[in-house]
Structure 1
Amino acid sequence: IRGGELYYKYVGPGAGTNTSTYLVTLKLYIDCGQNDPGQLDTQVFLTVFAKPGGNQVLGKYARMSSEEFIRYDPASNPCLNNPPRDVCYRLRYYQTTIDLPNTPDGYTIAFQRCCRIEGIQNLKPPSNDFGATYSCEIPGTKLGVNATQNTSPVITTRDAVAVCMGSDFQFDFSATDEQGDSLVYQFCDAFAGGGPSNGQNCFTCPLPVPGAPPPYQALSYQSPYAGTAPMGNVTINRKTGIMSGIAPSRIGQYVVTVCIGEYRRGVLINVHRKDIHIKVSDCVPLNAVLRPDYAYCDDFNVTFKNLQINPTGSVYTWDFGDGTPPQNTMIPDGTLQHRYADTGTYKVKLKVVLAGKCVDSTTTLAKVYPGFYPGFEFDGACLYTPFEFTDTTKSRYGRPSTWMWNFGDETTEADTSHSATPNWRYNTLGFKTVQLIVGSTKGCIDTVPVTVEVKDKPDLTLPFTDTLICDIDSLQLRAIGDGTFQWTPAYNLIDETSATPTVFPDRTTTYTVTATLGTCTLSHPVQVTTHALPTVNAGPDKTIGTGGTVQLEGAAPNATSLTWTPPAGLNNPAILTPMAQPAATTTYTLTVRDGNNCQGSDDVTVTVLPDCIKVMDAFTPNGDGMNDVWIVTNNACLLRTEVAVYNRYGGLVYRNADYQNNWNGTYNGKPLADGTYYFKITVH
């Protein structure tokens, strides 16, 4: 046995209630030189175990449905010195359908067989004493996300490849998933299974029926190798499934097992396993190796190089595809720089010649489109709340078309997405490095890392938390932070969900703002202290005649500053009792401020009587034609004048509702005695 892979496809609901039907396939790798009928089974026994306890629930034979041979063709690469001629796998496929009840924990399906080939370089000898366990997992209902309807990832890559000792190589474990689940690749331990014991009814027999229950024993690796380092200085890309590196310097077979974690909406629902023996040969490669295309998106200066260092003496000839003459170099990796005159997609040819005998060549596309500016932005900051990411890449030529996100979540390997606007929910605090690999329709590709911080509460700051206003004023509060806002109480508050509401309390009030980001909240208070307006009284209204002067009687016991407006006609507008001599009737406003800078005001009106009111303060009604009547007005600017005259005892001696400047000092037709009299005049 040189490897195996057990996988399944969800067919649909089973015949019974709450059951599912799966098509289960075992792909078994057999050494092409194996002709022992005992190793070429026409059917295999699959055992189904319930998780997590490992109790057997079903055993079923799967018959061989097909087989094929895949070989590496030594003539496929004439520039490979001493090509391997024994890289060959005999693939035998076994299939059956299985109906299983849908359970919370799901199932493990396993096949066990002994024995592996002898002389495996990364296992402790004798390696042919070890058998193999090939297993797959069917998820249960407790995972949600329609887990019971899962289908295994499918690996369709070619396995018969030449791997030369001490040379750079690649081996493809990439898979596709028809349900679009995220796949994460890593090396893992190969499992032992079965054994060389005689018989067929024991777990250590060559073909256990039924198979042993999980958990399964890892193979014993030989230092410096391990299940996580099966070929030494070789790695696997966790995102692409490409194994690459420098092959071991010792020829022979190496067991390599890759586990593919299958994540659906961040939930691990399945671990798919592929176990294969890879042959390292003593070949010496001479290769012209380029990727299918290259994007040069920085400037017109382009550096080319071969992806493999060839033997000393190799001559590289580059044709840059733009009509310029080809150029040669003997630098070991063929590095050469070329400047293109314009944008475009150029077909580049590379030919490598060694000693004039061995020649290899390849082509690639050089996509020269400078002006690619990758970037992204995000919205979010809170634990357990989705961060929303948005690609902001700009491209002078073409447009962004592919995205590969790695959200830097250390708790899972499934933190990836291929959307232009993905989101991700973190469940640990701290700084995360989010990486976007973005590509354009012109082939440009670049990587953008950005650090995001995951917090347990939103950002929330207040420019002030304690302030004062006067009780007729309004104040705009302000919150700076993430998410949505809610201010309480709603008392004398406008726009309670705004970051900048307006308040006008008439008493001291503490307002609280709560910022909410998903399930995270944070609250801060701000106290608004309200002060009463200062007491101010501008005094009683005043009346003067034209040109007259009067003293205002302002009062403001707690004022720290004051002013009268308008200042015209005042001898000092900054004192409480200024002298006023307005030219016309004027309303003066007394405005004061107290120690809290609160402002109050009050008005007083100074009425200025016009010149038509000029009361004669003495007259001599003696009939001499001079001052014989009492004149109080010239009647030019009045509608009507009311007069009343009183003696010194308060007795009314004269009254007229429409006085015409004609009283001659008589009472009841008789002259009044000389003396002082008092009057009251009302003008209209």
Structure 2
Amino acid sequence: MCPCLIGILWYYHYSLMKKFLFAFLLLATFLPASATHTKGGWMYYEYLGPGINNPAHLRYRVGLNYYIECSSFIIEQSFNFSIFSAAAPFAFVQNVSVPLGTNTQIQNCNLGSCYPCISNIPTICYKILNYETIIELPQNAAGYILAKQRCCRIDNISNMPAPSNTSGVTYTVTIPGFNAPINNAHVNSSPRFNFNDTTIVCADNPFTVSFAAVDSEGDSLVYSLCDSYTGASQLDPDPATSSSPPFASVPYQTGFSGAQPLGSGVTINPVTGEVSGSAPPAGEYVITICVAEYRNGVRFAQSRKELHLKVTACTPVVASLDPTFLTCGDLNLAFQNDTDGPAIQNWFWTFGDPASGAADTSLLQFPSHTFSAAGVYTVKLVVNKGLPCSDSTEQEVSVYPGFFTGFTSAAPYCVNVPVQFTDTTRTNHGFVNQWHWNFGVNSTLADTSNLQNPSYTFTTPGTYNVQLISGNNLGCRDTLEVPIVINPSPVLQLLSADTTYCGLDSLQLTAMGTGNFTWTPGTNILGANTATPTVFPTVATTYTVTLESLGCRSSDTVRLTPQLNLSNDIAALPTTICQDDTLTLTGSSNKNDNLRWQWSPAASVVSPNTQSTRAFPMVTTNYTLQTTWGNHCVVSKTISIPVTPLAIPQAGGDVDYCAGQAPVQLTASGGNSYRWSPAAGLSASNIANPFASPAVTTSYIVAVGVAGCAKTKTDTVIVTVRAKPTVQITNDTLICVPDTLQLNVAGTGSIAWSPNYMINNVQSFTPLVSPDVPTTYRMRYTDLFGCFQDDSVFVDVKPQVTLNAGADTSICLPDAFRLRATGDAVSYTWVPNLYLDNANIKNPTTRPDATITYT
């Protein structure tokens, strides 16, 4: 190996500055306290003996070596260390303010004279700030956890998700208690890590970095890679009190973890603390080393160191070969130096195959060699042979031609059906003893097997690249990848649902899908290989339908229960009605589906084929409901609906009423309750025979009801109002004894005279009367409508008439003069009637224009 020094540790000691420029203080005050400069660190403690202030206490020197970027100028003058009980629930004990002690900058040499065997030498620089103080703690069975949290880390850390500069860090160490597994565990000092932090690590090249520590008490130390802790935040980058344990791990990028912070190709030597392997790509990686202390074979304490390890794109002069050089196909194998770089100027190969003669060596950069026979050979590479930076390596090469990986698989290739895989690998040397299958299901990590002949069940249809890596006992490995197509289960849709049905029927089942149908069991079924078989089981039966397509099957079941217990019933609302009313008839059954309904008689129902219908019987009727379930199960039920007949109203014949005379009586019949309208002109409106005396001709409607029915029926009677007849009768008159007088009445109808005295006919319109004393004859005239009119005529009877025309007189023209006759006559007539205003009255007025005599 190259004798050049890979890591040089430089220490620069600076005394702590006592004064700062005022401007710098202002700048530090207003800069974000969460500047991204944290690069690593580790806490430690040293037991100093019993307490000075309290001898019962324990006295420790505690400290933190805090790494930051060399370019950082934000330097805290003190840190708070938070102290917790080391037993759950990790009670907070106290904070201790710890001052800054030393500020040391370390940097590697980046000159070619320091590293003549490395090209592209990087610069690696840290500031190490040491915070240290002495504390006294009471003895504690559980011990104490010391912690300091700070934010934030640098950005672009390669093994953490971006952005890494939002993540803080927790530095912590545990002081064991007296209850630890060994006696006096608290009388202990933690190991101190060496400051070997500027070692150069070249990307994609072998490297070794020592994280060794020194224990002052000679305890055994065991090293391991462990989780880095996060802590603090951008909002509170330097918390006065750290959050309580347990502390959370930082998140890691895929492919990295606390146990593999530099990838799977890097490990730690648990005895020496050396981290080595093939470096990852260039970048900065957070790595934490845990060192456990053992005393007398018992572990009792642990310390931690975190570092941001810088991996750079430098190139060392290194000879390295593939550690798995093996050929199993033929005898030829190609070679190369895995760590070639610009500093390598020549290559010298020896293939360890003397039987190949001159071909056993090569000066090519990328040679190939055909080995003379199967076997194990030692290949050696020397780079820069004869030059200052020379390196060499040897590697065993296995040559076992004739290894052929193979496998077969067996149909059906269906989802949720195991596919059987069979290994057919052949080898000409040794025997096949390793198998690793990957079934190509990207959504799970559980799609692998190490069995020789496994089976695997695919749950999703599609094409899967099934891969077999098989190997033999000599180290031969080969890979075969074969695509297989996993078909979906055919889409089966069973349209028939679980049901009970009429046991006298047959039932058609229906399924849908593409493929071949099979129904089981095969009893009491027609068309068992069709999508629509007909079944007629005699007992409850579960039928299974299977649909097959491309060797894949889907199944479903339907349960059929034949029954012969059909029943029905009828509910009527209301249960009795009056004529002209309706009611609702509702059928019910102990079955719920595939029912048909038929009401009879159908003439008096609205919907004879529905479960519920309106009915309008005019007389008491028996209704029958026939319920059919399926095709052949039939049952009937009958209900009687009593119907109360309505009234047959009779209002009586139309009548005439003579105004002002006796009311007429109306005569209704046909029921036991009556209501007349309008009520005007009636003596009562709620009796059968009220008296009517309307003011005008009126149509009276009588609503006639019967007991138990609210509905009535009506009839109408017209009461025609007639006026009293008009009568013309002889005026009162005077006759002389023994004269006879004829009375005269005009009209049609009937007449009656009273008294029956000295009258020849009391029913004559023109009777002759000859009273001998003054008599008043009264007459009642009745017309054709029964209306009557009463009148009278006074016949005065005298032996003779007394008469005086008055005294003669003179008047002046053109005056008028009233004649002043006196007498007891009934009528008077003046002659001549010249100039008179009325010649037939007793005292007329005249206005003559010449002398005239009136008689």
Larger RCO: 1 or 2 (CA < 8 Å, sep 6+): 1
Length-normalised TM-score, structure 2:
0.34
Higher Cα Rg: structure 1 or 2? 2
TM-score by length of 1: 0.42
